[in-house]
């Protein structure tokens, strides 16, 4: 197994209610799952290949709960990545070179029926985990923004976090509100829906704690 390790900041949104039932082993809010994710790698390596500073994104969709399968996925890789970096990121995001069930990428890959050819293009991504704000844009594919949840009476920012001591993606994530639209082979849209902002640190065996 090729050793790899990635430290990144992520902005993720999905069509579920704030909090996302998946985080609590519950079924999706609307019966299906549609998700968009963007990652900004601070430090990363795959064997001898350095991944520092690169970005990646994904569009994912399932007709029911994730564990029921029949999913579709499209991976987007930073156009700045060279051939070795592209191959490395595709391997990690496809769940390869990873212990079974150790990361969300590995788990999600096991539920896919259709994986579209990856795109290599410019990824515009801004993530501020502490401020609970994010912006993800890929021309012709993704337009997503996230902000703090607002109190429906006062409009004040509301802060909530999810702490997963044994999670396969993060240890602690800030919650927010997202509006996202995707185009191309996996197209959907949602407003005022689940948003997640987190610092992730993963390797072949899962979350580095």
Q: For the segment 36-92, what is each residue's pLDDT rounded down to a tens digit?
A: 999 999 999 999 999 999 999 999 999 999 999 999 999 999 999 999 999 999 999
Q: CA–CA separation, 205 vs 92, rounded Å? A: 12
Query: 2 CB contacts (<8 Å, ≥6 apart)?
Result: 46, 47, 91, 97
- Predicted local confidence at residue 112, as pLDDT: 98
- Predicted local confidence at residue 71, as pLDDT: 98
Residue given tokens 């607002």 in the structure block? 150
- Predicted local confidence at residue 123, as pLDDT: 98
How does the average pLDDT of the chain come out, rounded? 97
The phi, psi pair for 206, rounded to 5°, reads: 120, -150
Count the neighbouring beta carbons within 10 Å of the beta carbon of residue 52. Answer: 12
Count the neighbouring beta carbons within 10 Å of the beta carbon of residue 110. Answer: 14
pLDDT < 70 regions, the chain: none
- Predicted local confidence at residue 46, as pLDDT: 98
- Predicted local confidence at residue 116, as pLDDT: 98
- Predicted local confidence at residue 192, as pLDDT: 96
- Predicted local confidence at residue 160, as pLDDT: 97
């Amino acid at each position: 197994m090729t050793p790899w390790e990635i430290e990144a900041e992520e902005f993720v949104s999905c069509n579920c209610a704030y909090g996302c039932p998946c985080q609590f082993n519950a079924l999706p809010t609307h019966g299906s799952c549609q998700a968009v994710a963007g990652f900004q790698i601070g430090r990363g390596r795959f064997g001898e290949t350095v991944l520092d500073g690169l970005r990646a994104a994904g569009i994912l969709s399932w007709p029911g709960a994730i564990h029921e399968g029949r999913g579709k996925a499209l991976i987007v890789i930073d156009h700045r990545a060279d051939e070795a970096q592209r191959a490395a990121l595709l391997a990690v995001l496809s769940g390869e070179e990873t212990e079974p069930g150790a990361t969300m990428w590995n788990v999600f890959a096991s539920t896919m029926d259709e994986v579209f050819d990856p795109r290599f293009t410019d990824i515009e991504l801004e993530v501020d985990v502490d401020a609970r704000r994010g912006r993800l844009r890929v021309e012709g594919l993704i337009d997503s923004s996230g902000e703090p949840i607002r109190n429906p009476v006062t409009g004040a920012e509301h802060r909530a976090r999810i702490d997963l001591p044994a999670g396969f993606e993060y240890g602690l994530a800030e919650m927010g509100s997202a509006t996202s639209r995707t185009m191309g082979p996996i197209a959907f849209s949602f407003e005022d829906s689940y948003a997640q902002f987190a610092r992730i640190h993963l390797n072949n065996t899962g979350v580095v704690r």
